[in-house]
Amino acid sequence: MKWPIVIIFAYGCAVVQSGMTSWLRLWDGASPNLLLVMLIFLALHAASESLVIMAIVLGLLSDLTNQTPLGFGVISFAAVALIMLQLRQMVFREHPLSHAALGLICGVILGVVLLLLQYVRGWFFTPSTGSLMTSGLLFRSAVLTIPACVIMVWLLRKYRGAMGLKRSDFNM
């Protein structure tokens, strides 16, 4: 994997997600999670070691662009990456229906982990009402990630060679 190019693509997803929030908030304040789509693409095409490292980087980018406490994105993206390591053996990675299903599954897993982290954080700190995530918002975000996942994975597959991701890099 060519790390600088993959980091540039990840940073581009973070910029689009954070810079166009008013346009991407489509359904009662929810927006698609483009960094999660990048993680799904990497989970389908990258080696296992590279995937875990990029999950941590993408989680850190998510923490920096969203209003979540530092570490929530890292833990939740790492959890999604570890689950994707098991799921990627069972899906056809070239089919758009697989991308849509993975978008929904990973979005729901990400939402559940974020809600659990928020619940545990509530034991120790009193969160402000503006920073609370609701299950409805996270589910709507997971649903909106489905079409973004199909379109972006299709676009990212065109640049798979530039990122240094070949079929031989895929470790079962």
Give 2-49 pLDDT, tens digit per residue.
999 999 999 999 999 888 777 777 777 788 889 999 999 999 988 889
> Percent of the chain at pLDDT above 90?
42
> What average pLDDT does range 128-139 have in this prediction?
70
The most distant pair of C-alpha atoms in the chain lies apart, rounded to whole Å, by 49
Q: Single out the residue of 97, 75, 1 nearest to residue 43, CA to CA.
A: 1
In angstroms, the CA 166 to CA 31 distance is 31
What one-character DSSP code corresponds to residue 2? -
Q: Class assignment of domain 3-166?
A: mainly alpha
pLDDT band at 102 (very low <50, low <70, confident <90, very high): very high
pLDDT confidence of residue 128: 58
